[in-house]
Amino acid sequence: MRAGGAVGRLSRPTGPFMPIDPYVQVQLLPSVLALPPSDTTCLSYAPSPDPGIDASRCSQFWLVVQRFAASPQRFRLDDFSWNYLCLTNMLTIFSLLSLLRFELTVRYRPGWMRCECRFWISKRICSLPKGTAEEVAKLGEHGWDRVRLRQYGAMTLSCALFASTGTMAGKFLVRSLGWFGELLPEGQTVDAKLGRGFLLAAWGGVMAVSMSSICVVVRFYLTRGVRE
């Protein structure tokens, strides 16, 4: 391996179950390459004994990566944060597919959207209309708007959770990369920004679903008492 003019060789771990860990290999580079102390001073957070050495900056990019990986400012997701992020994404997809299925079924097969719960508690919670398929098929728009209130409300909540979670995670990542850029050698920078496409798509979806929910609420109250 060559780094900054120095050449060295990293030994491969022996054994059938000894995978190569890149982080461990990077930790071995200073000793393998026999680098001078001035090149590895940045790996220590203690003040440099030589006033001519800037201990806050590393001379090699891989040294910056090694210091950044061991720093508390590194962007990381614990198990709870990772599971929460995945849960919000799955919840948004499920809510969208459920809403599309509901609208298509009400339009073409309204009799299928009746409550078929068998237990008393589930019947009380179920938002679908009760009755036979023929009775449900004759239900007017006001009755279906009562069901839409929950459908669009759940969709609005899931989209808001998805957008806020993604935005906060992106801001933490950008802040972490900004600190990483401060460790780079002179002339190297990191210009990390949140993607406008994600922000427009995420929060635009929240606004669109919110406006749809408001329209459903307004129509529900305007059509009360109207016989169809």
Are 173 and 75 in contact by the 8 Å Cβ rule? The answer is yes
Q: Which range has the top average pLDDT, 18-27, 136-145, 185-194? A: 136-145
The predicted-structure confidence for 102-129, as pLDDT tens digits, reads as follows 999 998 988 888 888 888 787 788 888 8
More confident call, 163 vs 195:
163
Instruction: Tell me the pLDDT band of 8, cut-offs 50, 70 and 90.
Output: very low
pTM over 0.75: no
One-letter amino acid at 64 equals: V
State the burial class of residue 30 (Cβ atoms within 10 Å of its Cβ: 0-12, 13-18, 19+). buried
In 3D space, the residue among 109, 34, 30, 102 whose CA is nearest the CA of residue 66 turns out to be 30
- Grade residue 49 by pLDDT with cuts at 50, 70 and 90: very low
Residue 159 pLDDT exceeds 80:
yes
